[in-house]
Structure 1
Amino acid sequence: MPPLNAVRAFEAAARRLSFKDAAAELGVTHGAVSRQIRLLEEWLGPPALFRRLSHGVALTMEGRALLADIQPALERIARAASTHGGRPSGTVVLRVNALATFSLRWLVPKLGQLREAHPDIEVELTTGSAPVDGLAGEYDLIIRGGPDAFDGFEARLLLPEWRLPACSPSLLQRQPLDEVGDLARHTLLQVASMPRLWRDWLVKAGHGALEPAATLMLDHFYLSIQAAVDGLGVAMAPSTLIEDDLRAGRLVTPFPQISLPSRGYFAYTPVDSPLRAASERVCTWIEGVPAH
């Protein structure tokens, strides 16, 4: 057997294509990861597993082949160990991969409710945006936009969604929004990945030529939503992800009657997953969470 610490370091570095990121994940120094990789390469013998580049590393053909064999083995070991960690008898560990914004704004705040509803299911959550059939790891439940079709996966609608303007009540007190034209006196919060979102909504609202007082471009929806909560401007927000903020009074929707259609959130479950029954229970629970 090769040294297992070296195997773990290799898997993390190969998955992230970064010794630095692997070190952060494993809680060790960059030098420790380098030493473990070197130890594994010496144990295996040539050829090398990585090509050292000026900015980061790249896997060699042999490194990719080794990763393809090692990754499933480590996942099986972790899965086996997770069933013997003092968890109550019968506990199921469900591996879930979901979009980061959905996880942050919807799923994580409700994990406590899920645990109360299904105490025998323990969610192991990671985030990502890679295509369902392009994920490196094995997952029992993947949450992405849809509907899409992937070979070997069943798709199920979890939550519909639409997009509409949202802002903080304090912003409206300072600068009212009685009609769509009033947006010309506001800052519009933009999402870099969807730069036409505001323009499409304004066209639908009959104000396609409107120019705002200012715009603020942000990387992700969760940043634009937080900026809206903090009173920095008006966000074009996904309806599903602001339910809690609307309920708590942190956000309001000044024009609820005008919205843009959007792809809903879908669950994609591998047809050969041994935990399909547990995935179905979690999906049913998500569908039943009351909306605003």
Structure 2
Amino acid sequence: MRRLLFLNGIKAFEAAARTGSFAAAGHELNVSAAAISRMVHLLEERLGVALFERKANRLVTTAAGRAYQSGLTPIFDALASLTAQVTAASTRVLTVGVGPTFAMKWMIPHLAEFRKAEPDIEVRITTGGIAVPFGDDWSCGIKLGDGEWPGLVAEPLFAADLMPVCTARLANTLKRPADLKGPSLIRVAHSPDDWPSWLKAAGVPRLTARGPEFQFYGQALQAASDGLGIAMGIRPYIDDDLAAGRLVAPFALSVPKGMRWYLVYRGFHAEQRDFAAFRRWIIRAAAEPAAARKGARSAG
């Protein structure tokens, strides 16, 4: 008869060993760090083996802990994959977590392309911002960062390049970066370094952006479209607007933001048929120039 020993404790240990902390494991399993610590301690007592060395600021797995975790993680991944395969036949819904501007400026405008290719797969978009943790109900997410999210696979999609954008009428008054004026430079509250980075690269580091400030890039880009000033655009948010002529780039200079956009997901989703179709589509779509996508949509 199979004897399964304290499954909650085993789950808590595997998550803590994989993520490197009780706090991260608690977030993944929706319990407190203290609860993870207690379950791991009880598991160690029942096994009669120390699985962690408790250091002041970090956890270090013992030799027994490393051996246990190396066997447990593939088992949990296989269980998650099996569950996904069993449920795939009865539900064809993908939940994609994105920030509000990414949803508005890229995902929603391009979703018809995916629906045309995969009409039987429903995509649900949930928003909340780049800093929102990966949701338990997410099939995948699209995040801006350095590509390091413990416990998640991260595949690069877009380079997050910065480039000022405005209306064509306003662009005609700008011959060189020195023509820019601080009060006309629209700001995004959560990205205060965008303008300083670009202005430094453009050779006008003493110029300070003092224009209207908005919470999200989408709001700033809308303000620029309405002629309020010059917004700092970030790719891919501006690609379709540039291709359609709604906005123009008065200067050719673009500056890397220092991060990239990534498709992030838990490893077991890679074997799920519907997610695999979405993954192939978005990686291909991210690699296509905006002008090519616009032409393809017009032809359709």
Pairwise same-fold verdict (TM > 0.5): yes
Match of 2:167 in 1: 168
Q: How far apart, CA to CA, are the structure 1 residues paired with 2:131 and 2:268?
A: 18
Task: Check 1:201–1:169 CA distance in 2 against 1; reply closer, same or farther (3 A cut).
Answer: same
Task: Check 1:168–1:141 CA distance in 2 against 1; reply closer, same or farther (3 A cut).
Answer: same
Which contiguous aligned blocks of 4+ residues in structure 1 show a shift greater than 3 angstroms? 134-137, 273-277
Task: Check 1:230–1:207 CA distance in 2 against 1; reply closer, same or farther (3 A cut).
Answer: same
Equivalent of 2:216 in 200, 214, 220: 220
1:190 lines up with 2:187 in the alignment: yes
Task: Number of aligned residue pairs: give it.
Answer: 205
Q: How far apart, CA to CA, are the structure 1 residues paired with 2:175 and 2:280?
A: 39
The question of whether the paired residues in 1 share the 8 Å contact of 2:186 and 2:231 is answered with yes
1:244 lines up with 2:240 in the alignment: yes
Q: How far apart, CA to CA, are the structure 2 residues paired with 1:242 and 1:251?
A: 8
Task: Check 1:186–1:249 CA distance in 2 against 1; reply closer, same or farther (3 A cut).
Answer: farther
Q: SS at the partner of 2:185?
A: strand
Match of 2:54 in 1: none
Q: Post-superposition shift, 1:288?
A: 2.2
* One-letter code aligned to 2:158: L
Q: SS at the partner of 2:142?
A: strand
Which runs of no fewer than 5 residues in structure 1 stay unpaired?
Answer: 1-60, 62-78, 84-88
1:88-99 pair list within 5 angstroms: 92-99=92-99
The question of whether the paired residues in 2 share the 8 Å contact of 1:165 and 1:235 is answered with yes
1:121-270 pair list within 5 angstroms: 121-129=121-129, 134-173=133-172, 176-184=173-181, 187-211=184-208, 214-270=210-266
1:46-61 pair list within 5 angstroms: none
Q: How far apart, CA to CA, are the structure 1 residues paired with 2:149 and 2:248?
A: 37
Q: SS at the partner of 1:163?
A: strand
1:6-155 pair list within 5 angstroms: 92-129=92-129, 134-155=133-154
The question of whether the paired residues in 2 share the 8 Å contact of 1:161 and 1:261 is answered with yes
* One-letter code aligned to 1:113: E
Q: How far apart, CA to CA, are the structure 2 residues paired with 1:130 and 1:201?
A: 22
Task: Check 1:131–1:273 CA distance in 2 against 1; reply closer, same or farther (3 A cut).
Answer: farther
Q: SS at the partner of 1:111?
A: helix
1:273 lines up with 2:264 in the alignment: no
* One-letter code aligned to 1:155: A
* One-letter code aligned to 1:147: D
Write out per-residue CA displacement over residues 27-85 of structure 1, whole angstroms, 9 at most, x where no aligned residue.
Answer: xxxxxxxxxxxxxxxxxxxxxxxxxxxxxxxxxx9xxxxxxxxxxxxxxxxx9xx99xx
Match of 1:291 in 2: 289
Task: Check 1:97–1:287 CA distance in 2 against 1; reply closer, same or farther (3 A cut).
Answer: same
* One-letter code aligned to 1:201: W
Task: Check 1:284–1:187 CA distance in 2 against 1; reply closer, same or farther (3 A cut).
Answer: same
Q: Post-superposition shift, 1:215?
A: 1.1
The question of whether the paired residues in 2 share the 8 Å contact of 1:94 and 1:275 is answered with no
Write out per-residue CA displacement over residues 120-142 of structure 1, whole angstroms, 9 at most, x where no aligned residue.
Answer: 3210111123657x345421111
Which runs of no fewer than 5 residues in structure 2 stay unpaired?
Answer: 1-31, 33-83, 291-300
Match of 1:14 in 2: none
Q: Post-superposition shift, 1:196?
A: 2.5
Identity, % of aligned positions: 31
Task: Check 1:276–1:266 CA distance in 2 against 1; reply closer, same or farther (3 A cut).
Answer: farther
Q: Post-superposition shift, 1:274?
A: 7.8
Q: SS at the partner of 1:110?
A: helix
* One-letter code aligned to 2:225: V
Task: Check 1:98–1:179 CA distance in 2 against 1; reply closer, same or farther (3 A cut).
Answer: same
Task: Check 1:197–1:96 CA distance in 2 against 1; reply closer, same or farther (3 A cut).
Answer: same
